[in-house]
Each structure stands twice: as C-alpha cells, then as structure tokens.
Amino acid sequence: MSILKYISISFSLFITANVFAETEVNNEYSLPPMVYVSTLQDDVFEALKSTSLLKNISKELPGSPIKLFTYIESVSTNGGQAAEFTSMMLAASTLGVIPVVRNKDIRIHYRVLVNQRLLTEYSYTKNFTDAGFFWAGPDSKLSKEAKEWVDITIEQALTDLSQDKALNELTQEYNYYFSQE
C-alpha cells in the first residue's frame, strides 16, 4: 500500500470521526428559553419539555422574544370533499342511519419565531379517514389514531429542530451574550 493511500484513508477516517463527534455534541445542547404557545393538549408540552433540547420552554415567560408555536390544521382533500358530500347525501336520505365519511389531511406545524419573525418551521402531514353520524355533527377532537401520530411527530420535530442551522446559530449567539459560565 502506498503512502498516499495510507494518508488519504487516515485523513478520511479523521474527518469522519470529527463529523460524528460534532453530531453527538449538537444533540445534547438545549435551546434558549422560549415561550410555548399551542392549540394542542398539555401532554405534548410535557413531552417537549422533558427533552434536553427544549427543557427551557415555558407557557409563562412574558417578554421572551423567542416563541415556539405548535398548532394543527385540518385540510380537506379534493377526493375527501367529494366523498364527504356523497356520504352526507346518502346519510341524509336514510335519515342518518348511514355514517358520513370524512377524509382530511391533518397537518401539524412547529414554528419558532424570534421578535415576531419566522426563524424556522417544520410541518408534518398525514391523511386520516373517519366516519361519524349525521346527527352528531362535526367532531373537532382528534381521533385516537391522530393523537398517536401527533406523538410521533414530536420525535421528528425534535430531530429536525436539533439539526436546524438557524436555531443552532441562535443558540450560539444567545450563549455568547447570556452564558451562565
């Protein structure tokens, strides 16, 4: 084996080791204190706060320029609107014996704002189909399946937020000015 191959392999292993070492360090940092505003249930807040990345979030932090917004949006699909209309007409013709089928995209947003300006946003979408009875009216609560999916998005959001370049730069700047050390 020539000396050039040996040097190039050693150098690539050194670079790879440094990349992995930096990745491990970045996963352990925590974001600056921020206000948490959400339309989701409280267990999402508790799940986010229990992580090392978002241990500094609070629902009551007046005056903080950094905010984490989480909210859910329900969007009807074109096919879902047609299916809902058809099943509603069928349900009405049977006086509500047949359920109304709804097909919607549920989208959850995780937004970080600094001084009322969007710094970063991650959105996750999944399609859900449910059935309800005509006389019960629309149900605004999430189904059990949708709630389980929301819990899954927490892990995805934490991964995305921990690797976000803008948030990393914000954290570095915050630590430079407000470091406790």
pLDDT tier at 131, thresholds 50, 70, 90: confident
126 within 8 A of 150, measured Cβ to Cβ: no
Average pLDDT over residues 130-136: 72
Give the pLDDT of residue 138: 60
- Rounded Cα–Cα distance for residues 145 and 154 (Å): 15
Is the pTM for the entire model greater than 0.85? Answer: no
DSSP conformation class of 59: S
- Rounded Cα–Cα distance for residues 127 and 76 (Å): 9
- Rounded Cα–Cα distance for residues 152 and 2 (Å): 50
- Rounded Cα–Cα distance for residues 177 and 174 (Å): 5
pLDDT tier at 180, thresholds 50, 70, 90: low
For 17-63, the pLDDT digits (tens) are 333 333 333 446 789 999 999 988 888 899 999 999 999 999 988 88
